[in-house]
């Protein structure tokens, strides 16, 4: 199926963009990595000192205790508070029964223990259990994204059904975000009369029908009945069905939008539109304006952009913010540091990464060089997509988010001003405003002349940042 995940460490999923399907298409069952050499640290004494400093900085941050206690599950409560909890296929960002599926409920009733990746002090992973039938299960998770995707997004408030759905996704190897996004799309189309009950194998697929959601997860995994179509994802399924169902697909570049209601946080809407692999909330991960890290925003981006840049409902300067966040996040991905601690909470920044690379790897690199590397990675990603036909027209969001005002909550009356933010983003990147493509000069300046020449020969590149 299209959105199959690569499972690792039993309960962790590399799930988005269907890379599990790619792995399966190659008849590849598993990848086993076993080291034979020692790991050498450039300066072990300095390294241990930096480990101590990093731990102290994280432990002293007010954000950390709740991250240890709840993991990402209490983001349900936070997103509800700011009106950013996708509900009923992103019709709105408020779910009346949010407290039934939130972090406190899981902590009190279902948590067995927090789980950490190797040597991590945050322990944001969860290990949970449901002891009652019909949803008896035990395993890793859930994360916020799954709680929302199989919960509020589908109008489901039975936490035990959601935990069972999480268990199914892990055991069947499904991307829970795309699974929930596809099911919630089908739910809305069913309620609107665009998909019939007969087409759904007799399922009464109303919002809130937990039994139907569970049955669909199994059907999707095994491509049985309607599951064969829904295993293609909502974008492809809607193209096949037609009848106006396309209007209700919440996607970017064919991938279901994650559990982020962008009308309540404009930067996240822009980040979803510009992400290299479709709707990917982690590519730029611009969460600093989400809960008001104003001092860190000032430190990272400059006081001249305040207060607008720190206001999640104000589109101004979000192009600059997303550009800077993307550049930093691809560096973080490259060095293998977690996004928690580097972006939320925003404790560590480029200078800390420079020090970490020096004492660990012996690399002589400075902040300016790291920023250049980040910008080069993003431009290389974009160049790849340009070769495959991606341009500004694809940096889009569903009309529900750009033309239909949020109906309730703190973001009531707001839409995502995408074109305004895209213009600013492209200017900050030095890309062509009309096409959204990197220019020849930009790629050359980043040491990507061979890529620029290739795209120029293909007729896919312009030399100027503005104009045709």
Looking at the predicted structure, is the pLDDT value of residue 2 above 80? yes
C-alpha closest to that of 179 among 137, 142, 129: 142
Report the topology of domain 262-421.
Answer: 1.10.599
End-to-end CA distance of the chain: 39
What interhelical angle do 266-274 and 418-429 show, nearest 10?
60
* pLDDT tens per residue across span 80-135: 999 999 999 999 999 999 999 999 999 999 999 999 988 888 889 999 999 999 99
List all residues 6 or more positions away from 272 whose beta carbon is below 8 Å from its beta carbon: 252, 257, 258, 260, 262, 279, 280, 281, 397
Residue 190: pLDDT band by 50, 70, 90 thresholds? very high
Q: Which residue has the tokens 């069947």?
A: 172
**Residues of the chain with pLDDT > 90: what percent?**
89
Residue 468: what pLDDT? 44
* pLDDT tens per residue across span 74-91: 999 999 999 999 999 999
Domain ranges of the chain: 6-40+71-256, 262-421
pLDDT average, residue stretch 10-39: 91
C-alpha closest to that of 252 among 190, 192, 327, 177: 177
Mean pLDDT of the chain: 95
Residue 136: what pLDDT? 98
Residue 466: what pLDDT? 59
| Per-residue tokens: 169 | 């996704």
pLDDT average, residue stretch 443-466: 89
d(CA 428, CA 390): 19
Architecture of domain 6-40+71-256: Orthogonal Bundle (1.10)
Residue 436: what pLDDT? 96
Q: Quick one: 422 exposed, middle or buried, by C-beta within 10 A (0-12, 13-18, 19+)?
A: buried
Looking at the predicted structure, is the pLDDT value of residue 48 above 60? yes
Selected residue with higher pLDDT from 11 and 330: 330
pLDDT average, residue stretch 457-467: 77
Selected residue with higher pLDDT from 151 and 1: 151
Residue 57: what pLDDT? 92
Residue 465: what pLDDT? 62
Residue 290: pLDDT band by 50, 70, 90 thresholds? confident
Residue 182: what pLDDT? 98
* pLDDT tens per residue across span 203-234: 999 999 999 999 999 999 999 999 999 999 99
List all residues 6 or more positions away from 51 whose beta carbon is below 8 Å from its beta carbon: none
Residue 291: what pLDDT? 80
pLDDT average, residue stretch 5-11: 90
Looking at the predicted structure, is the pLDDT value of residue 396 above 90? yes
d(CA 442, CA 211): 53
pLDDT average, residue stretch 380-386: 98
């Amino acid at each position: 199926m299209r959105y199959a995940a690569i499972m690792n460490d039993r309960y962790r999923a590399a799930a988005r963009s269907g890379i599990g399907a790619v792995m399966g298409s190659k008849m590849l069952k598993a990848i086993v990595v076993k080291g034979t050499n020692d790991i050498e640290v450039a300066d072990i004494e300095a390294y241990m000192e930096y480990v101590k400093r990093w731990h102290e900085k994280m432990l002293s941050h007010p954000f950390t205790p709740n991250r240890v206690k709840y993991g990402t599950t209490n983001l349900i409560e936070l997103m509800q508070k700011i009106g950013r909890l996708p509900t009923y296929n992103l019709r709105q960002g408020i779910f009346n029964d949010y407290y039934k599926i939130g972090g406190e409920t899981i902590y009190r009733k279902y948590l067995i223990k927090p789980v950490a990746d190797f040597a991590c002090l945050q322990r944001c992973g969860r290990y949970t259990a449901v002891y009652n039938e019909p949803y008896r299960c035990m395993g890793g998770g859930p994360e916020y994204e799954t709680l929302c995707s199989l919960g509020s997004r589908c109008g489901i408030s039975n936490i035990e059904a959601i935990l069972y759905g999480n268990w199914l996704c892990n055991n069947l190897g499904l991307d829970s975000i795309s699974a929930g996004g596809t099911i919630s799309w089908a739910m809305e189309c069913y309620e609107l009369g665009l998909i019939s009950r007969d087409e759904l194998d007799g399922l009464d697929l109303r919002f809130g029908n937990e039994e139907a959601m569970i049955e669909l997860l199994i059907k999707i995994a095994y491509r049985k009945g309607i599951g064969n179509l829904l295993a293609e994802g909502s974008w492809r399924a809607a193209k096949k069905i037609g009848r106006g169902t396309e209007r209700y697909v919440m996607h970017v570049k064919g991938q279901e939008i994650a559990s982020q209601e962008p009308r309540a946080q404009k930067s996240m809407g822009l980040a979803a539109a510009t992400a290299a692999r479709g709707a990917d909330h982690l590519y730029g991960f611009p969460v600093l304006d989400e809960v008001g890290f104003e001092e860190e925003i000032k430190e990272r981006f400059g006081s001249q952009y305040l207060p607008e840049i720190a206001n999640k409902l104000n589109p101004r300067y979000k192009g600059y913010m997303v550009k800077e966040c993307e550049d930093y996040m691809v560096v973080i991905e490259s060095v293998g540091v977690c996004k928690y601690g580097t972006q939320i909470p925003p404790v560590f920044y480029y200078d800390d990464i420079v020090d970490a690379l020096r004492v660990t790897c012996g690399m002589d690199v400075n902040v300016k060089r790291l920023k250049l590397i980040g910008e080069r990675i993003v431009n290389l990603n974009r160049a790849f997509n340009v070769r495959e036909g991606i341009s500004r027209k694809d940096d889009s969001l569903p009309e529900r988010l750009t033309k239909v005002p949020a109906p309730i909550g703190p973001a009531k009356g707001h839409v995502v001003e995408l074109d305004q933010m895209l213009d600013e983003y492209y200017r900050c990147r030095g890309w062509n405003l009309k096409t959204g493509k990197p220019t020849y000069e930009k790629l050359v300046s980043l040491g990507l002349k061979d890529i620029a020449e290739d795209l120029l020969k293909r007729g896919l590149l312009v030399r100027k940042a503005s104009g045709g």
